[in-house]
Amino acid sequence: MKQQKRKPEQEIIYQIYPKSFQDTNHDGIGDLRGIINHLDDLRDLGITMIWLCPIYPSPMEDNGYDVADYKAIHPDFGTMEDMDRLIEEAGKRDISLMLDLVLNHTSSRHKWFEKAVQDPGSKEHGYYIFEKGKEEPNNLRSVFGGSVWEKVRGRNEYYFHSFGKGQPDLNWENPALRQEIYQIIEFWKRKGIKAFRMDAINFIKKPEKWRRMEADGPDGRCKCTKVVRNHPGLLDYLHEMNEKCFKSDGIVTVGETAGLPYDQLEEYIGKNGCFTMVFDFRHADLDIRSGDEWFSRAEWKTADLKKRLEVSCSHIQKYGPGTSFLENHDQPRVTTKYLRKDQDDPYGKKMLGMLQMGLRGVPFLFQGQELGMINFERTDVSELEDISSIDQFGRARECGYSAEEALHFVNLRSRDNARVPYPWNEEKYGGFSDADPWLACNEQAQKRRICFENQKNDPDSVLSFYKKLISLRKSSDWSDTLNAGRIRFEEGNEEVIAFTRQKEEKELLVLCSFADHPVKTLCRKGTLILDNYKETDMNVKVDEEGMIILRPFEAMMIETEKRRENDE
Ligand code: GLC
Ligand code: CA
């Protein structure tokens, strides 16, 4: 089939964590062939694009976000031929690929860095951030814990790393380095890649001078994000990269831009913005105490979630397309996060799907979300694989929490929750592999029999509901409204998130109840488009006060009459 030209807002993007999707050569590690084998399943789900987490050679200290060679494929995942085949086979199904570009840092095993360390006079030395001295230049803490500075063995010199010490940051100040980066992007564009996800891209600008910062933890250090994230001057690099690599070729880009102030959005996604879209994490991180580490928990109510979504959507829609996501490879499962004790409630799971697909912004699904995957409960810290989870466990202990408490926090937030093997069926390793997987399966999900095979042919499954939502968005009378309509949040019960989507004469009202009991909320009469309960009466009626009763976790999408302009 010929690939159709879609507008970015018509995409439905599905994120694959290759290591955990499907193993085909019995080594317990997912691979590219595994993805190729499931392309028909992905087409049936209705997605239009795959965001592939890093597949490059890497020592895997941060599961591929430590790249040792940007123009090759990690042997665990397969070969460049496999990659070419994946691009081609996906294309036949009208699915395109979005590659993850990790350009803030490389692996310390990248040949540039090896050269830089060996020879301080080399051009590669200028590709990284080195500071001479006998002591660390300042007291910043890296994202994965410990200092951002690592001493070069045998020299009074330190290199800077925002993340792990195996992930030295690149020096974007250096035009020669920027040229190298543009060539990497060219390389993948020539292979037919038309979309990129820009990892940690708002870390690339560093301050001119390193100063000591006020400590914000018992370790005497200060979070590096306060200094190296969204640093002034960052946009100069981003605009240059856009001019050189993306703009004229219509490449779709999405920036991972945590903490980006809303008043800068125009520069990012406006008419002359540097990216097509950006991720805003404020709603996803509402269970973390503001400005704190992720082991630090925050209480929240449905109204807080609604507020965050409202603020985000209303800013973003002034400028360009947004993103709508509930999960990714750094987040826990949204069922456990947002439904808490009701994590396995099928209505709750479908309600979350309706929320995401109803919101304004290109939907990004993370593998397993469409099955309603839940978090695991690991019983010992030794079962955690993720570098960040292990650090957060230690940090929580340092802050005085017991091992049990620390483990509980980490279970709630561990990035491994998303990264467990995909549950295809009820076989030993969930059909992911016939060998012991690199990361243990999620036993809690297995006990609840959450898997693809059990849902595929069940018209009432979470998976089938996601398919309906996707097809509404992709190919229905409501596609335009859902893809491009304005969003406006509505008043109502405080346990309900309600909003309208409106384009030209058409208007949809979306109601999502987060309550585990019936609630009364404001509604308007209209025609039911979709409900997460089985509904026979398509006529939506309201009482004299304009109210309706929603059942536990009920979600409705209703065609309503467009409000008169003077109602606005
Ligand atoms: C991004 C990635 C995350 C990774 C980090 C360092 O935040 O999403 O998985 O650990 O960057 O590359
Ligand atoms: Ca394999």
Q: Which of 65, 101, 281 to mutate to test the pocket of ligand 1 (most atoms within 8 A of CB)?
A: 65
Across 395-406, average pLDDT: 95
pLDDT at 107 over 70: yes
CA 397 – ligand 1 centroid, Å: 23
Across 84-105, average pLDDT: 98
Measured CA to CA, the distance from residue 31 to residue 204 in angstroms comes to 30
Nearest-CA residue for atom 11 of ligand 1: 200
What SS3 state is found at 528?
strand
pLDDT band at 306 (very low <50, low <70, confident <90, very high): very high
pLDDT band at 345 (very low <50, low <70, confident <90, very high): very high
CA 192 – ligand 2 centroid, Å: 24
Radius of gyration of the chain (CA): 24
Instruction: Provide the H-helix boundaries in 399-461.
Output: 403-413, 416-419, 443-447, 452-456
pLDDT given for residue 421 in this prediction: 98
Q: Which ligand neighbours the alpha carbon of 107 most closely?
A: 1
pLDDT band at 269 (very low <50, low <70, confident <90, very high): very high
pLDDT given for residue 568 in this prediction: 45
Ligand 1 pocket list (CB less than 6 A): 62, 65, 102, 163, 199-200, 256, 329-330
Average model confidence (pLDDT) for the chain? 96
Give catalytic residue positions: 199, 256
Measured CA to CA, the distance from residue 423 to residue 537 in angstroms comes to 36
CA distances from residue 557 to 143, 473, 518 in whole angstroms, order as listed: 40, 12, 17
Q: Which atom of ligand 1 is nearest to the CA of 104?
A: 12
pLDDT given for residue 565 in this prediction: 57
CA 90 – ligand 1 centroid, Å: 25
> Which domains are present in the chain?
8-102+281-384+415-469 (3.20.20.80), 483-567 (2.60.40.1180)
Q: Which atom of ligand 1 is nearest to the CA of 144?
A: 10
- The percentage of residues in the chain with a pLDDT greater than 90, rounded to a whole number, is 96
Backbone angles phi and psi of 381, in degrees to 5: -60, -25
Q: Which atom of ligand 1 is nearest to the CA of 258?
A: 7
Q: Which ligand neighbours the alpha carbon of 22 most closely?
A: 2
- For the chain, the first-to-last Cα distance in angstroms comes to 44
pLDDT given for residue 437 in this prediction: 98
pLDDT given for residue 4 in this prediction: 58
Q: Which of 163, 279, 323, 328 to mutate to test the pocket of ligand 1 (most atoms within 8 A of CB)?
A: 163
Measured CA to CA, the distance from residue 542 to residue 526 in angstroms comes to 9
Q: Which of 52, 165, 281, 330 to mutate to test the pocket of ligand 1 (most atoms within 8 A of CB)?
A: 330
CA 138 – ligand 1 centroid, Å: 23
Q: Which atom of ligand 1 is nearest to the CA of 105?
A: 12
- The percentage of residues in the chain with a pLDDT greater than 70, rounded to a whole number, is 98
pLDDT in tens, 40-88: 999 999 999 999 999 999 999 999 999 999 999 999 999 999 999 999 9
CA 38, 43, 45, 49 torsion-angle sign: positive
Q: Which ligand neighbours the alpha carbon of 166 most closely?
A: 1
pLDDT given for residue 5 in this prediction: 82
pLDDT at 91 over 90: yes
pLDDT band at 329 (very low <50, low <70, confident <90, very high): very high
CA 455 – ligand 1 centroid, Å: 31
Q: What secondary structure, in 3-state letters, does 138-195 show?
A: CCEECCCCCECEEECCCCCEEEECCCCCCCCEECCCCHHHHHHHHHHHHHHHHCCCCE
pLDDT given for residue 293 in this prediction: 86
Q: Which ligand neighbours the alpha carbon of 66 most closely?
A: 1
**Candidate from 231-235, 495-499, 532-536 with smallest mean pLDDT:** 532-536
pTM as predicted: 0.97
Measured CA to CA, the distance from residue 517 to residue 496 in angstroms comes to 12
CA 264 – ligand 1 centroid, Å: 22
Q: Give the DSSP per-residue string, 252-283.
A: EEEEE-TT--GGGHHHHHSTT-SSSEEE--TT
